[in-house]
């Protein structure tokens, strides 16, 4: 399996700040856990991890909602985004929906995949799970951090997801070929940054939700 290429990723990246700082790991317990440790162990108050992305080739203890295990073999896209936010805590679930929408929007525009958001945090293609999101909030002193963990089955074969193959799928299985994960990640971060900055500035979630509700299912 080809490792994530940071040089290629940096060439693709067009964001203003999200993902500019990326921490790449071959193996980790979970990217969310790593992000939590990073926030808690800041040596200086002025160290600002806002916009930092933690990316791992594999996770040994990937987590989903309700502490479910998340299978994270090499070839997927397993990453966590750290946001230092001034949004109110009740507004943070809307940011998670924005993140889910960015994943589906890029999958549709870039790869022709009609993905949907299954409430509250899963990405599906048809009846098969393609990805998921786990968001956590951490307060340190006067700072509020939103940690958004995103897992996407990218260049995985049926053998890679054998334990859950009946319920899950991957981009490779859907379109029949490997894709450049560096391109996928950069596009997701750009779409998310655009919508997140708009929402943070205006608090206008209704405009964004008009797009989200078209691909949102509660069943």
Q: What is the pLDDT of residues 148-190, one digit of tens each?
A: 999 999 999 988 876 655 689 999 999 999 999 999 999 999 9
User: Model confidence at 65, in pLDDT bands (50, 70, 90)?
Assistant: very low
What pLDDT score was predicted for residue 62?
A: 55
Q: What is the rounded average pLDDT of the residues 185-209?
A: 97
Structural domains in the chain, CATH included, are 6-217 (3.30.930.10)
User: Is 99 a residue whose pLDDT tops 70?
Assistant: yes
Q: Locate 163 and state its tokens.
A: 């334990």
Q: Please report the pLDDT score of residue 159 as a whole number.
A: 83
Asked if residue 102 lies in contact with residue 211, where contact means CB atoms within 8 angstroms, the answer is: no
Q: Which residues does 107 contact at the CB level (< 8 Å), separation at least 6?
A: 113, 115, 123, 130, 171
Per-residue pLDDT, 40 = 87
The yes-or-no verdict on residue 64 having pLDDT over 60 is no
Inform me whether the pLDDT recorded for 45 exceeds 90.
no
pLDDT at residue 66, as a whole number: 41
State residue 69's pLDDT score. 57
- pLDDT above 60: residue 90: yes
Note the pLDDT of residue 161: 78
Are 31 and 55 a contacting pair, CB within 8 Å? yes
Helix (H, G, I), strand (E, B) or coil at 137: strand
């Amino acid at each position: 399996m080809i490792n994530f290429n940071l040089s290629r990723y940096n060439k693709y990246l067009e964001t203003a700040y999200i993902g500019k700082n990326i921490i790449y790991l071959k193996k980790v317990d979970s990217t969310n856990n790593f992000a939590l440790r990073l926030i808690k162990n800041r040596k200086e108050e002025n160290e600002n991890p806002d916009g930092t992305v933690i990316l791992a080739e594999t996770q040994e203890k990937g987590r989903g909602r309700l502490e479910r295990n998340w299978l994270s073999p090499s070839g997927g896209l397993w990453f966590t985004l750290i946001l230092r936010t001034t949004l109110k805590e009740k507004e943070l679930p809307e940011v998670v929906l924005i993140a889910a929408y960015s994943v589906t929007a890029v999958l549709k525009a870039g790869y022709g995949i009609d993905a949907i958001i299954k409430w509250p945090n899963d990405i599906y293609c048809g009846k098969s799970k393609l990805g998921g999101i786990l968001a956590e909030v951490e307060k340190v002193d006067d700072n509020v951090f939103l940690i958004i963990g995103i897992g996407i089955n990218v260049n995985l074969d049926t053998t890679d997801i054998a334990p859950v193959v009946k319920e899950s799928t991957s981009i490779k299985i859907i379109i029949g070929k490997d894709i450049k994960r560096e391109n996928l990640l950069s596009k997701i971060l750009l779409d998310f940054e655009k919508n997140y900055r708009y929402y943070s500035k205006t608090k206008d979630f209704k405009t964004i939700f008009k797009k989200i509700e078209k691909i949102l299912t509660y069943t």
